[in-house]
Chains A and B, each alone.
Chain A
Amino acid sequence: EPEVTQTPSHQVTQMGQEVILRCVPISNHLYFYWYRQILGQKVEFLVSFYNNEISEKSEIFDDQFSVERPDGSNFTLKIRSTKLEDSAMYFCASSADRGRATEAFFGQGTRLTVV
Chain B
Amino acid sequence: AQTVTQSQPEMSVQEAETVTLSCTYDTSENNYYLFWYKQPPSRQMILVIRQEAYKQQNATENRFSVNFQKAAKSFSLKISDSQLGDTAMYFCAFMSGTSYGKLTFGQGTILTVHP
Contact = CB atoms under 8 A, between A and B. Distances in A.
Interface stretch (B13-21, B42-50, B66-74, B77-85): B42-50
A99 B43 CA distance: 25
A3 interface: yes
Contacts of A55: 100-101
A42 B45 contact: no
Contact of A104 (B97, B103, B106): B103
B44 A109 contact: yes
Contacts of B108: 42-43
A56 B102 CA distance: 8
Interface string A1-12: 001100000000
Contacts, number: 64
A31 B100 contact: yes
Contacts of B105: 35, 42-44
Nearest to B101: A98
B101 A101 contact: no
B97 to A, nearest CB: 7
Contact of A99 (B42, B101, B103, B106): B101
A100 B51 CA distance: 10
B44 A108 contact: yes
Among B46, B100, B108: residue with most chain A CB under 10 A? B100
Interface string A35-51: 10000011111001010
B53 to A, nearest CB: 10
21 contacts: A33-B101, A33-B103, A35-B103, A43-B91, A43-B105, A45-B102, A45-B104, A56-B99, A56-B102, A91-B44, A98-B101, A100-B33, A101-B50, A101-B52, A102-B101, A103-B47, A103-B50, A104-B103, A106-B45, A107-B44, A108-B44
Interface of B: 33, 35, 37, 42-47, 50-52, 91, 95, 97, 99-108
